[in-house]
Structure formats: structure tokens, C-alpha cells
Structure 1
Amino acid sequence: MDLEGLYSFLVVAKEKSISKASQSLHVTQPTLSTRIRKLEEGLGFSLVDRNWKGIQLTREGNYFLPYASRLFRDLSDVSTVLTYNEQHEPRVSFSEVTNVGCLIIGIDSWLAPSFSKQILNQIKINDGMKYKIITRPTSTLVELLDYNAIDLAVIYNEKLDITQESTPLMEDEMVLLFHNKHTIKNDFSNLSVLKDKPFLLFDNPILVYHSNFTSQVIKEFNIEHFQIIDDINVMINTIVADLAYTIVPKSSIHHFIELFNLGIIPIGFILMGRKVSNINIQIVYHAKKLSDLGFEDFANSLFNSIVQDYKLI
């Protein structure tokens, strides 16, 4: 990513003017325009429209803006951590934050509520274990495994090219979620009662990773109206408000099931069965790194713990 171009784009988006942005950045207008053009060429799409009204973001530019802002903020935060001075910032221990001599465990953000308990139980059994747990989308965790930046991960596996040791964990069924004031038949023959409501569609990176699944669902049920979200808690509250419905992996809402059953959260759910393909979950790990840290059996113990504790709906 062209960071100079990225920051230049953010300033242009804020100022809505090449001249004002160039003044803010202390560069010439041609230099700024060249930065934006190079960024657009690298991305493969246009970010800004230049016309007599001035600068306007394209549709792609508007979509890209919050991700560009978050990326730049994340990098800024990393720089702050790595350059921090303990005399001025005693709240965070630099050595602990940057410790690479511990077991680093990744878990898909959607799987964390269901499986983090088993991970922590295994850590507790290994008294004194130094560890770090990070939650990221599966695609990011796979890359971090390739970079040897994490040692073990619990992820979805949907046509991924995984080179590390892995243990298939289970097939995750898909679940239809809707406000429980509606009665949906188990064969989905009256799903039309939800047709006036939008289908909740998760945004990047979930949309990208599960594109095959979402395409299948959209085609199978002839879905035409959508509402974009990017958070499971927002999803729950939107359905509770009876503003939408959706279909998600069972594991992503497993920790809510008891609340659904008790009516504390007014959401109904039906397993999709063969209507929609299941998604595989697996544990991926670096066996040598686990051995070097003295935790040769950690992956197998975690597998057994999850299988034993994870109950079907």
C-alpha cells in the first residue's frame, strides 16, 4: 500500500479540494494529483472525480474511505506503541506487548465467543504458559500463519490453501435468524413472510471470504433487498427490532442460543440443513513451534476440549 498516497487521499477527502489539500500537505497541486493517481492505479479503481464542482469521491472512493482511515489509524497506533517511552507512558509494558517468546493463538472473530473458553481452559491447564490471543478474520489469520506471526489458529476453512499442520474440527451448520414473532416452517416454504424485510449482509472482509456462501443463499431464496452491517451485535439488535433477517454460521451465535430459547432475546432460529452448504472449522498450527515452546499436545488437547464441550443446537 502506498502510504504517502493513502494519507494524501485522506486529506483530499477531508478538504474536498486539491488546492486546500496541497496547502495542508505542503506540496504542489501536480504532486498531490500524481500521488492520488498512483494510488488509484495501484488499487485498480478511481477514488475521486475531478470536475467543475471541485473534488468529489467516487462510489468506490466513498466505500474505500473508512477502510483507508482505519488502516492509517492502525499504523499510527502501532508506531505509537513501538516508539513509546516508559517514563511518559507507564500504563503499557512495551516488553509484554511485543513479546514473541510466547504462544500466539489466533481465532476467527466469529468463532471467539464460542471457542475462546476452551482455549483459555487449555491455557489454565498449562500453568504458567505465556500466551497472546488475537481475533481476526480467517483470511488474515491464514496470512499470519504463513508469516509465522502466530503459532495456532481456530479458523473457518473454505477452499483455503493451508500449508501448516491442521486438524479438521467440525462442520458448522448455517442458521436462519428472524424475530420470533414470525412463524417460519422448518421446510422454509413460508419464508415469504420475511420478504418485506432486508437480508443482513456482512461487509468486508466477511463478505469477501464468504462470497460463495452469500451467493448461494441469495440465489436459493431469491433475495433482493439487503442491509449492510459489519458487527454481530448490530446484527442481533437489528433482528430484535424486527428490521431484518439473516443466515449465519451456527458458531457465530452459539453463545446466544440459550437466550433465544428462553425468549430473553426475541429471535427465532432454524437450522438450514441441506438448503445451504456447511462451513468447515479447523485448527491450524505450527507443530515445531509448539514443540519448541513445550506444548506439543496443545492442539490435540484443544481439539478434544472443543469437541467435548460444543453442543449442537
Structure 2
Amino acid sequence: MDLEALRSFLAVAKHRSISKAAAALYVTQPTMSQRLRRLEESLGFALFRRGWTGVVLTPQGAYFLPYAAQLMRDLSNASAVLGSKDAARPRSFAEVAGHPHKVVFGVDNWLPERAVRAVVSSALTGYGADEFRVTSRPATTVIDLLELNQLDAGLFYSTEPAHPFPTEVIGTEDMALVHPPGTALEETSAPALKELLSRHRFVLFDNPVLTHHARITTTLIETYEISRFHVVDDYRTMRALIRLGECITVVPAGVVLDDAGRHGSNLSFTPLPGLLPEISVIVGVSDAGRDHGVTEAFAGSVAGFLHDDRPGSGDARPCAHRPVRADPGCLPGPGTC
């Protein structure tokens, strides 16, 4: 994406004037207008409209702005660390970026802590602690980095049937309704779910969940005629809103189970088997990962550690996850019963 066009977009949003933004960036007004037009054409939507108070953001422009700002900030931070003009790099730089030979594993940051333990434990069976590192990213980023060969292997939630690298489904999870304390789903049926959903605003998670889990969210919204939303991009905000009785939402069951198999963070939740599509827990291995010695056995190892560490493992407590949909030789996935 054109960085000068992004910088111009942010300047116009700040000054609410193309001429003032052009002056601030020391370019002509026609140049500024051309940059904005080029950016809008590449995005496929208008970013601004003219109002009585000057140039104002369209709804699409307002949605796009924080992503543009974050991108420019990330690039600025990377430049500050890597740039040759500043010799005083952080001492941690050598550890973070100075070991390209390390095997790198990615974990979807929606997966629970036991998933991270399973990846670390599996990595330790084949590598020394100084030979690998684990990074937590949104599922979409894990998938992109695997395709780009910047991760060797990754563990992530997905509703997609195929990916551009070898994968193995090591488990599936039901979606779970997360609702305020004192409320209850009277029965596991579509009418009961629709009635309970109608009494609350629905917490809709913004990107990357909005796009990556679109099959589930679209089915949910259309089937149960949800019309009142509260959009968040942070799990803690979701918890606060639901705990205070204002909202309700649906997430993978593993997200709201703590390591002891109890409801995480005192939230009430109810599994929804059969009412929504299940979500898969997937291990992916990139071409680079195979070159670095990560084999198909890694998926089985992660599944085995998750099975041993699942909520309620070793006792009779019920589990909110569905049986594994994998090859007969594959060990059960996270939280399966």
C-alpha cells in the first residue's frame, strides 16, 4: 500500500481540510487530492465527504482510520529499531531479530493457555529452549505468516476448509453462548437461543475475528435475527460488558474455559451443539518449517499434550468440546471428551 497516500489520509482526517493537510506535509493541494483518489481507488470505497465543517470521514473512512494509524505506527517503530541513523538500538534487538535460525511457532491468541503449553511442550521434544520461540498473534496473522514462510508451524482456530499450506485438524469445538450472571438458556434450541439473544446487545468482535470467523457470525446474525450490537476489539471489554448485564456473545468454547475446567472470569456460558457450525483447531506447517525439521508428528504431539492437559482431564466433569474430526490415529484435540 502507498505509504505517502496513507500519511496523506491521516493528515486530512486530522486537519479536516485537504489544503491544510497539504500545507502540513509540504505538498501541493492537487498532489494531496491525487494521493487520496489513488488510495480510494485501491481500497474500493470513499474515505471522505465534504460537510459544513470541512472534509469529514465517511463511515468506511472512520472504520479504516485506526488500521491505517496502527500500520504507520508499527512501521515507525520498526524503523526506529532498525534504522541505521540511530545507533542506540535496544539491547533486546539482537535477541528478537538476531537469530534467524530459530524455529518459530505461532499460536492464535484466542486459544487458551493450555494451547500455548502444548505448543511449547511439543517444541521442547525436538528442540532446545534456545533453538525456538513462540509468538502469539491473531489467527489471520498466523495464517498469513505461515503462507509467507515466516512461521515454521502454527496452532489456530479456523472455519475455512482449506489453507495454502499443509494442515491437520486436531480437534473441533462447539461455539458457546456467553451470557450475564443470573441469566440462562432454558433449553438448547433455536427458539430459546433467539429469545435470550433478543434481550441483550450482541458483542461483535472487530477484525480480525469479524472476517476470519465470518461464516459463523453471518450464520448467527441471520438465523437469529440479531439487530442490536456492541462492537469491541478486546476480550476484556467483552467480559466487562457481559458481567455488568448489558451484553451477550458467542465464542469458541475453549475461549471461556480456564485450565481447571471452570468458567473463566466468572462468566456464565452455555455450549451450543448443533445450533451453530463448529470451529476447528488446526495445526499448520509451512514449507520453511519442513525445511527446519518440523514434521507431521508435530500435530500429533500438540494434540497429545492438549488431551492430557484438557479441562477436567482425569475426572468425570463434562466437557464443552466436540469429538475430534481427524484421522483415527490422531490423538484427541483440546478439551475433547
TM-score, with length taken from structure 1: 0.89
Q: Which moved more, 1:293-302 or 1:229-238?
A: 293-302
Q: CA deviation at 1:200?
A: 0.7
Would you tell me which structure has more helix in proportion to its own residues? Answer: 1
Render the CA deviation track for 1:138-177: whole Å, top value 9, x for unaligned.
2222221121111101122322532322221101111011
What secondary structure sits across from 1:273 in the alignment? coil
Identity %: 31
Correspondence 1:154-233 to 2 at 5 A? 154-188=155-189, 189-191=191-193, 192-233=195-236
Equivalent position of 1:286 in the other structure: 286
Change (3 A) 1:128 1:290: farther
What secondary structure sits across from 1:223 in the alignment? coil
Runs (5+) with no aligned partner, structure 2: 312-318, 321-337
Runs (5+) with no aligned partner, structure 1: none
Change (3 A) 1:163 1:90: closer
Equivalent position of 1:147 in the other structure: 148
What's the C-alpha RMSD, in Å, of the aligned pairs? Answer: 2.5
Equivalent position of 1:120 in the other structure: 120
Equivalent position of 1:34 in the other structure: 34
AA matched with 2:169 = P
1:303 to 2:313 alignment:
no
Equivalent position of 1:241 in the other structure: 244
Change (3 A) 1:19 1:99: same
Distance 2:304 2:261 in 1: 23
Equivalent position of 1:250 in the other structure: 253
Q: How many residues end up aligned between the 2 structures?
A: 310
Q: Which moved more, 1:159-168 or 1:65-74?
A: 159-168
Q: CA deviation at 1:15?
A: 1.1
1:67 to 2:67 alignment:
yes
Change (3 A) 1:254 1:260: closer
Change (3 A) 1:112 1:266: closer
Equivalent position of 1:12 in the other structure: 12
Q: CA deviation at 1:13?
A: 0.7
What secondary structure sits across from 2:27 in the alignment? coil
Distance 2:55 2:259 in 1: 46
Distance 1:256 1:247 in 2: 20
Distance 2:260 2:251 in 1: 13
Q: Which moved more, 1:78-87 or 1:157-166?
A: 78-87
What secondary structure sits across from 1:274 in the alignment? coil
AA matched with 1:70 = Q
Query: Would you say the 8 A contact 2:205–2:231 is kept in 1?
Result: yes
TM-score, with length taken from structure 2: 0.83
Equivalent position of 2:334 in the other structure: none
